[in-house]
Amino acid sequence: MAKEFEQYFDTLSMALKSTRGALQRYNIMAVVVAATGVHAITEFPVDRVDQWVAKSVVEFLRNATPGDAMQIVGLLNLTWFGPGPTTARHLKAYAASRAMSEEERRLLNAAVNRRHAD
């Protein structure tokens, strides 16, 4: 079953790579987050799920606005998985490299760090 989940996440990552519209990209990323809530996925180690999600996060963040990135972090924080270490690293790199206000940067980093402080 791991192979099927990995292929599913790979397909979503490819969809993010080829989709240009912000709303469509956000919706695909919301599907990625929702897929971490499927009971069967909880049978896999967190680091494996983190790798699957991180691929999509990287593609999403290429063109994401800070607001959309914040929304996705918020959705991830509601799951059992949250932003895992690899996903969190990509989100923090995004916050460090994007043109955004200091307040946006602080809020994004705080949202990512909140999960790891729990």
53-64 residue pLDDT tens: 999 999 999 999
**Is pTM beyond 0.85 here?**
yes
Q: What is the mean pLDDT of the chain?
A: 90
Give yes or no for residue 75 having a pLDDT over 70. Answer: yes
Cα torsion 43, 44, 49, 52: sign: negative
Tell me what pLDDT residue 96 has: 92
Give yes or no for residue 92 having a pLDDT over 90. Answer: yes
CB 19 within 8 A of CB 25: yes
Give yes or no for residue 116 having a pLDDT over 70. Answer: no
Tell me what pLDDT residue 114 has: 78
CB 69 within 8 A of CB 91: yes
Residue 49 banded pLDDT, cuts 50, 70, 90: very high
As a whole number, mean pLDDT of residues 99-105 equals: 90
Tell me what pLDDT residue 13 has: 96
